[in-house]
């Protein structure tokens, strides 16, 4: 894997809170 990493804000992640669409923040990443 390589290339430019996409950066998501905390607000971006919080809307993905359904069982089939769950995003996690681990160690602030």
Q: Indicate whether this model's pTM tops 0.85.
A: no
Residue 20 is predicted with a pLDDT of 92
24: its two tokens: 């996690």
Residue 16 is predicted with a pLDDT of 86
Residue 25 is predicted with a pLDDT of 80
Residue 2 is predicted with a pLDDT of 61
Residue 1 is predicted with a pLDDT of 55
Residue 19 is predicted with a pLDDT of 86
* pLDDT tens digits for range 1-29: 566 778 888 899 889 888 898 888 888 77
Q: Is 10 helix (H, G, I), strand (E, B) or coil?
A: helix
User: Quick count: other Cβ atoms within 10 Å of Cβ 10?
Assistant: 8
Cα 24 from Cα 6, distance rounded (Å): 15
């Amino acid at each position: 894997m390589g290339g430019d990493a996409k950066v998501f804000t905390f607000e971006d992640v919080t809307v993905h809170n359904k069982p089939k669409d769950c995003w996690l923040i681990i160690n602030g990443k």
